């Protein structure tokens, strides 16, 4: 059985769309995700699964920060993850 994602993308995107300042929402979402990771760790979930879930959550946050700061572009700068938070 696959665990549910740490971040509910639809819920997050809805909150960001309504927010005057999106960064506290992003910070809180990341903090909640980390708390959920700890709960899952203490419940005995496999470390390899937790690392993947953490990487997915950080990717979700970073992609939203990128869009907020850079907008949606067809070409130009790129955000490339090269490791450092469990991407393996």
Segment 24-39, tens digit of pLDDT = 999 999 999 999 999 9
Q: How much is the pLDDT for 68?
A: 86
Q: What number is the average pLDDT over the span 48-77?
A: 85
Continuous segment of H or E residues that includes residue 19: none
The closest of 51, 56, 2, 1 to 29, measured between CA atoms, is: 56
User: So where are the chain's domains?
Assistant: 9-70
| pTM of the predicted model as reported, rounded to 2 decimal places | 0.80
Is the pLDDT assigned to residue 62 strictly greater than 70?
Answer: yes
Q: What number is the average pLDDT over the span 3-24?
A: 92
């Amino acid at each position: 059985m696959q665990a549910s994602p740490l971040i509910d993308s639809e819920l997050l995107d809805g909150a960001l769309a309504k927010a005057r300042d999106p960064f506290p929402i992003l910070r809180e979402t990341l903090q909640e995700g980390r708390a959920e990771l700890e709960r899952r760790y203490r419940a005995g979930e496999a470390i390899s699964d937790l690392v993947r879930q953490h990487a997915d959550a950080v990717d979700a946050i970073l992609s939203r920060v990128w869009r907020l700061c850079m907008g949606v572009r067809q070409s130009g700068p790129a955000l490339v993850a090269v490791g450092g938070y469990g991407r393996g």
